[in-house]
Amino acid sequence: MNVGNCMAKNPITVAADVAISDAQAVMRAKKIHRLPVTDAAGKLVGIVTAADLNHASAPPATSLDIYELHYLISKLKVESVMSKKLVTVTEDLPIEEAARIMDDHRIAGLPVLRDGKLVGIITESDLFRLFIGMFGARQKGIRLSLLLPEKQGELAAVAGAVAKAGGNIISLVTFDGEDATNHYCTLKVEGVSKEALIAAVAPLVQKVVDARDA
């Protein structure tokens, strides 16, 4: 799974000389929290977030009266608050690398470029939707969490046992275990009872951590 499979394509953009109030109106209307900023040629020159705009439009402590203050704020442009130090990715980047970059840089969205041109944006919301899909959270089944020994063929053995019991694996995700000798695995399985599923896999694993209808 790469960034291109998950990103929002042809994202809404804003020009650097747009008033902050207008950019805020766009975000509210489109229910988004960030806007890539492009120049007249369509080149990406910055990115601005709702937090950036809200901070800029918050009245500071000043001797100006409210009318003068609102007038000054109305003259502020996106370019005065946008971030120009851009972190970008390409469509062919593995999705887990995009997640790592977001975490490393403490950012919630990444513009996606193709040959230097903006073609999409991927955000933490896209990653949340992917996370939901990976766990089969919108499908009914038995959610089974296991602690497996770290040895070759273990996952294949578990999958074979599930199939032999009449189950169909909807999703399967693995995680680091308690130490280097094991790992956690969470499956969503349909077509078999919880009791039959546990009985099928228990002899193959170190521990059945959790089993529930989900």
Position 67 confidence tier, pLDDT thresholds 50, 70, 90: low
Q: pLDDT-based confidence at 54, cuts 50/70/90?
A: confident
Within this chain, do residues 26 and 125 fall inside the same structural domain, yes or no?
A: yes
Q: What is the mean pLDDT of the chain?
A: 91
The residue type of 69 is L
pLDDT interval class at 69 (50, 70, 90): low
DSSP the chain: -BHHHHSEES---EETTSBHHHHHHHHHHHT-SEEEEE-TT--EEEEEEHHHHHHHHSPPS-SS-HHHHHHHHHT-BGGGTSB-S---EETTSBHHHHHHHHHHHT-SEEEEEETTEEEEEEEHHHHHHHHHHHTTTTS-SEEEEEEEES-TTHHHHHHHHHHHTT-EEEEEEEEE-SSTTEEEEEEEEESS-HHHHHHHHGGGSSEEEEEEE-
Number of domains making up the chain: 2
CATH number, residue 87: 3.10.580.10
Q: What is the mean pLDDT of residues 3-28?
A: 94
Same domain, residue pair 57 and 159: no
Between CA 142 and CA 10 the distance in angstroms is 38
Cα angle 179-211-200, degrees, rounded to a multiple of 5: 85
Averaged over 39-58, what is the pLDDT? 88
User: For the residues 120-124, what does the mean pLDDT come to?
Assistant: 96
Tell me: do 68 and 146 sit in the same domain.
no
Does 116 score more than 60 pLDDT? yes
- For residue 42, what pLDDT is reported? 86
What is the identity of the amino acid at 145? S
54 and 127 co-located in one domain:
yes
pLDDT given for residue 29 in this prediction:
96
Q: Does the pLDDT value for residue 210 go beyond 70?
A: yes
Clarify whether residues 115 and 199 are in a common domain. Answer: no
The answer to whether residues 98 and 13 belong to one domain is: yes
Which CATH number do you get for residue 141?
Answer: 3.30.70.260
196 and 99 within one domain: no
- At 130-162, the pLDDT tens digits run 999 999 999 999 999 999 999 999 999 999 999
Say whether pLDDT at 57 is over 90. Answer: no
**At 75, phi and psi to the nearest 5?**
-90, -10
Instruction: Give the list of residues 6+ apart from residue 147 with CB closer than 8 angstroms, or none.
Output: 177, 178, 182, 183, 184, 185, 205, 206, 207, 209
pLDDT 10s digits, 71-81:
666 678 999 99
Please indicate, yes or no, whether residues 176 and 99 belong to a single structural domain of this protein.
no
18 plus 121 within the same structural domain: yes
Q: Do 142 and 84 share a domain, yes or no?
A: no
Tell whether 53 and 122 lie within a shared domain: yes
**Same domain membership, residue 149 and residue 108:** no
> Which residues constitute the domain of residue 93?
3-131
